[in-house]
Amino acid sequence: MKDILEAPFLKEICKTASNMYRQGWDERNGGNISVRLDKKDLAPYLNVRDVIRTIPTKFDAKAIAGQYYIVTGTGKYFKNVEDDPETNLGIFRISDSGTEAELLWGYKDGGRFTSELPAHLMSHIARQAVDPESRVIIHTHPTNTISMNTVCPVDEDDFTHRLWQINTEAIVVFPDGVGMLPWMVCGTTAIGEATAEKMKKYRIVIWTNHGIYGAGKDLDETFGLIETVEKTAQIYMLTEGHKRLNLITDKQLKDIADYFGVTPKAGILK
């Protein structure tokens, strides 16, 4: 068996956790990452028949039974993931019943997957139905996006428009807009179901006064998507309280969309 610490998928999730920490998005144990893996990518590093222990998922994940995931642990600090992956990460398979995670590696200190697993796995189910290539869900606490929640209405079309108007790149990177949930208790099956419902339409879902969920094909794409939303939110917050003299008009937004060949979410541009 090859050394799993050398596996490209492991190095990449470690690097992503460190980058997110350095962005200031993931204080303490804030945020969590899940990546769907292929059995063939795991096979050189693990015997997938060797289950260390099983952990109840506490909801029905039968739709993705047999799938493999690498997921950050609950209570674990992103700043520590890279130095000690085996404690801060776990690799598991969803059992045939869909009610257990079969741990194959990690959570070395007896830990378990993130408390946000329902929102992650339900989002994976929703995104795979839209795009079979979808592999990554990232949840994080980006400062400016959360700051916008304190000064903007909880209205996803209005929020999307505010972002598009302030940064040219925004409509190109997320023409589908951002989905939004009102404030809810986190970690619950209910917020998981609400997030997954939004994920049928959006790759970004904002949890009011909490953070963001992003979905994508790989870690780079998903990180880049969140990074663009957060950068745009930063511009919004830096200009909040100032007279905004130059906003991108709806006509200009349509011109950008036409030039880049993207279709903006209907009903936002006048």
What's the closest the beta carbon of residue 120 comes to Zn ion, in angstroms?
A: 11
| Candidate segments 1-9, 108-116, 146-154, 251-259, binder of ligand 13P by CB under 6 A | 108-116
Q: What does 247 interact with, of Zn ion, ligand 13P, none (CB < 5 to 8 A by kind)? A: none
CA distance linking residue 41 with residue 269, whole number of Å:
44
State which residue, 24 or 75, has the beta carbon closest to ligand 13P.
Answer: 75
CA distance linking residue 117 with residue 9, whole number of Å:
19
Number of residues lying near ligand 13P (CB under 6 A): 12
State which residue, 44 or 75, has the beta carbon closest to ligand 13P.
Answer: 75
Is position 165 an interface residue for ligand 13P (rule: CB under 6 A)?
no
What's the closest the beta carbon of residue 74 comes to Zn ion, in angstroms?
A: 11
Under 8 Å between Cβ of 9 and 41 = yes
Catalytic residues: 116
Stretch 203-242 residues interacting with ligand 13P (CB under 6 A): none
State which residue, 103 or 171, has the beta carbon closest to ligand 13P.
Answer: 103
Report the chain's C-alpha Rg in angstroms: 19
State which residue, 114 or 160, has the beta carbon closest to ligand 13P.
Answer: 114
- Closest by CA to 148, choosing from 79, 206, 87, is 206
DSSP secondary structure code for residue 45 in this structure: T
The contacts of residue 132 (CB under 8 Å, 6+ apart) are: none
| Candidate segments 24-32, 50-58, 81-89, 120-128, binder of ligand 13P by CB under 6 A | 24-32
Stretch 48-107 residues interacting with ligand 13P (CB under 6 A): 72, 74-75
CA distance linking residue 61 with residue 94, whole number of Å:
7
DSSP 3-state of 167? coil
Under 8 Å between Cβ of 106 and 85 = yes
Binding site for Zn ion (CB under 5 A): 211
